[in-house]
Amino acid sequence: MTTNIGCDCGRSQGTLYCPVEVSSTEKNLLAELRYQLNSLMMRLEELQRENDRLMSRISKCQCSEAKEEEHVAFSSAKSEGICQSMQQDSELSISEANINTSHSNDQSEVSSKEHKHSVHVETLSNCLSVEQAKPPGQYIATHEYARRYVALKITYFGQRFHGFASEAQMEPTVESEIFKALERTKLLIGTRKNSHYSRCGRTDKGVSATGQVISLYLRSNGKEIGRGEEINYAMVLNRVLPKDIRVVGSAPISSEFSARFSCLRREYMYFFWRGTMDISVMQKASQKFIGEHDFRNFCKMDALNVHNYRRHITEFAISPCNKWSNDDNLWAITIKGSAFLWHQIIDFLLDINKAPRKPQYNMAPELPLMLHCCEFQDVNFICSPDARRNLQEHFTNELRNYLLQAAIMEEALHCLQTIGVEETSMEHRKKKKGHISLMLRPTEPSYEERRAKWAMKAAYSRPNF
């Protein structure tokens, strides 16, 4: 390669001739430039050798459809700072090109060759992900990316979702939206099945959460913990998640961790307006729930899939909130336990021997229920300053929007006062239904009766030979 710097006189290959006197600063600049060019040339030779080796391996890999998919995935991941080594080479080429020298054409050739090499690397990365199916619990690294087992802490507002889990075939769910975001950001390597995914709480339709936790393998920068900057998972995912779902923290975890089975305690909160309810009586009755009990009479029973209805409650508290509406105070029930049941509510039917069948009653509305937090041992969730700032701004804006809607609703109530009310006779007024004691209400089938019904149905559905 011919190196030409300074002027065009007395030029020969690999040698500099110039009649103009060169200062010490310029000499240092020239020396630094020679060093950078030599380093770039050595890098090019390494890439060429690697390219030959990779092309040989790619020819043996029969995954043509996955190649194009991985090219898109790798390009997107590179924009998030995952492939830093290739970016550094690109930045070096740009900085050298800014110097007004005659070797710019050579640099363009090097950059072009490096780009061709990166395409081959992207294709091989997909081949490796298809060929190498690693078992859970291992830190997997390939040539251009790695993955890490991560726990994500998630906040969501459940009003428009059909629950958290996506197995119910009802859309949208919180879980389906999260996986759409993971796929869109290319943080999910492979499929959900091989990501070692688990969730802490399976909240029902309409239920919200400020402390939901999931765990799975995600794409990583491949740095040792504490020795380099990891991908900012909250920032990356919150850019594409819908506004009612936010990742508020992340934590690296061991391969033995499970968001479901490693959880020590789950805490739910249920908000309600006091109205005419006797709080002192409720607080006295709430203490009966503490301890381990069979809660089959307090949930929507799924006798086909759920066979154990015993749960351990460690705390049951009823306390006021600093919110008022028309002289009515907002209160909250806080319940801590190891686990909870589907559609579990508050009631007084703990003795299943006396009440083997659940009385018919309406479930409490799901909207005021919230999964407040999930507790784990030695799991410390972190959030970057930028991500925290964005979250605070987002939640503040959402709160202001809700307050605007509340102001409009209050104005609608005020406008009703300006409208006259038609006089009606007493007999046309709808009578309020009287309260019927729970023990006098019709009952639903017991757990054993439901199981017998399923067994009979399965027996009839078997083919006769």
As given in the structure block, the two tokens for residue 386 are 């930028």
Do 211 and 247 contact (CB within 8 A), yes or no? no
Do 52 and 122 contact (CB within 8 A), yes or no? no
Give 359's DSSP letter.
Answer: B
As given in the structure block, the two tokens for residue 18 are 């110039």
CA distance 76 to 186: 7
DSSP 79-117: HTTS-HHHHHHHHHHHHHHTS--TTHHHHHHHHHHHHHH
Give Cα 443 to chain centroid, integer Å: 41
Q: Is 217 exposed, middle or buried (0-12, 13-18, 19+ CB in 10 A)?
A: buried
Q: Verify whether residue 204 is a known catalytic residue.
A: yes
* Count of CB atoms situated within 10 Å of the CB of 416: 8
* Count of CB atoms situated within 10 Å of the CB of 59: 8
As given in the structure block, the two tokens for residue 346 are 């508050």
Give 143's DSSP letter.
Answer: S
Give 357's DSSP letter.
Answer: S
Residue type, 116: K
Phi and psi angles of residue 49, each rounded to the nearest 5 degrees, phi first: -65, -45
Of 204, 244, 302, 386, the active-site residue reads 204
Q: At what angle do helices 64-79 and 104-131 cross, to 10 degrees?
A: 120
Q: At what angle do helices 24-58 and 104-131 cross, to 10 degrees?
A: 30
Cβ-based neighbours of 324, under 8 Å, separated by 6 or more: 330
Q: Which helix (H) or strand (E) holds 39?
A: helix 24-58
Radius of gyration of the chain (CA): 32
Strand runs (DSSP E) across 354-441, as ranges?
369-375
Q: Which of 334, 344, 342, 343 is nearest to 372 (CA)?
A: 334
Do 63 and 127 contact (CB within 8 A), yes or no? yes
Q: At what angle do helices 104-131 and 84-97 cross, to 10 degrees?
A: 170
Q: Which residues of 340-366 are buried (b: 16+ CB within 10 A; e: fewer)?
A: bbebbbbbebeebeebebbbeeeebeb
Q: Tell me the catalytic residues.
A: 204
